[in-house]
Structure 1
Amino acid sequence: MTNASQELIQSPELPTLQEEHEVQSDNAPEINIQEPTQPSAGQLIKQARMQAGLHIAALAVTLKVPVKRLEALEDDNLNLLPDMVFVRALAASVCNTLKIDPEPILALMPKSGSTRLDNVSKSIDTPIRRSALSNDKVNPMDFMKTPWMIGGAALLLGAAAIYFWPTMKSDSTKTIQESKTSGVIEMASKESNAIQVTPVVATPVTAATAPVISTDTANQPSALTASANTTTVSDGIVAFKASGDTWIEVKDAKGATVFKQLMKAGESAGANGVLPLSVTVGSTNFTQVLVRGQVKDLTSIAKNNVAFFEVK
């Protein structure tokens, strides 16, 4: 056999074990192991509130803060709140109301001075405007725009107004007196003309007195009907009287909200709907509930000053 035929018969070289291992490692799928994330401060506060069975609106009434601020705290939207001092104070108040330890939650929040320090560092890094360090000449018109010059001009205008005010007032009083005098003269002339005409119209006037009495008596039934159609708070299936700040929510059998209001001291309201009605009272110590005219006892069903009950 020739050398050319031997080269054609030889098989290609097989890959080594190291090359096969590298190919398999390149094709192997990557496995991402995610470590369990620690809940944030807002999530811990929300979990504690829900475990206590306290509605966020009832908690807002207790702390006397808007509901939106509590929602921002639970959702970790701290940029919607004034500053970190307020955020930490609000979180501590919520923890004290829910009777939980505030230290673990406050440890997850930024420190009080971090926001202000960040702002200071940013202000230090900002470049200084060239106009502040330039040696340009001062414009005289800029001197006229200073605050004390504007204040002086305002004082001069006020003094001028005080000086000319008596003259303007006397002129206006003269004008008013002249208009009143002309009005009195016109009224006197009209009365004199009316006195001359009264003998002619005396008979129609006496005849017209009877219809006036009949119209008053005719309107009495309509007034009685309007008073009968008026509804009061006691006409509702459930009624509420507030002696302080309280929060009320009423839902019907379909789950639709028929009444929802933050009531103040001295206010009263009622609600109707498809039975059964689900009622939530935010501050039971400031709320009197009447069910079909009967007083509802809330002390036995209240928990954390919040009561839930149904009206069937």
Structure 2
Amino acid sequence: MTSENTPDSDIQEEVPQDSPASIGQMLREARESQGLTQAQVGSRIKLREALVKDLENDHFDNIPNNTYVKGYVTNYARALDLELAPLQKRLQEQLVHTEHGMKSFSRKTSNKAAEQRVNWISYIIILVLIGLSVLWWLQRSEQAANPDFSQPTQEEIAAQEQDTNLLDEAEALLREANAIEQKLSDEEETPAAPAEEQGDEAEPQTEEPPHTVSLEEVAEQPELAQNLAQLEQSAAEQALVSLRLLADCWMQISDADGAMIVNGLKKSGHEIELAAKTPLKFVIGAPQAVSLSIDGETVDLSSYQDTVARFSYPQSES
């Protein structure tokens, strides 16, 4: 019987293995050959049964560090009186392969985490930009809905500056006219040279009244006359507009050049005074809420009750 079994065992030993047994398989086979359970081995090496199962199943990722794995395997082998050298060699080969896989997995995990952080940062930046855009739009809407009527508009400021320039030009022309008039008066008051005596008695000279220079004479000066004419023409084309709001009202007023001098909603109690070049065009949304006068004369808006007032000043002749 013994001679017959020996060839079979030799044949089995000569059968090549596809791959070497893992460290877990080697430990499990050694334990089972001695008829021990996992709990008994764990009791000998002071390990929980779950850790013994992880060692035999090669689940080293459940163990915090490879140093612990090496220590557990060494204790396991000593508890079963196994030879350490082949076990440690196989364990080292297996751990190298496991570490390479873990590093690849760690790199993938790190790259994925970095991508997720970049994505989250991008989302946060986009949300902040959207929030700022919404805030800016709300502020613009609030400003448009509640304009500050306590400050003059750009059209009113432009009209006031135009009035100031006209007054400055008028004062300059008057000063120039007064200077010319004074100069002419001084020339009239200068005494003439004495006349030659004719005879024993000189005839008494009649005293002439002083010559007064009128604006018409001043106007005879070419340059000054041109300036006065331009000033008179500019003043004639200007109209003084006075508005007082009895209630909130939307309106538009444009001058002869098409420039919009008043535009938008005006609040109750708001007053406007401006000078503008005629003809003027008016569009008043609520005529009953407006008191209007042009050049000191009140404009009757009663015919525009319950409708938008659209008219020009001065009225065009039909």
Query: Greater CA radius of gyration, 1 or 2?
Result: 2
TM over 0.5: no
Greater length-normalized contact order (CA 8 Å, ≥ 6 residues apart): 1
TM-score relative to the length of structure 1: 0.28
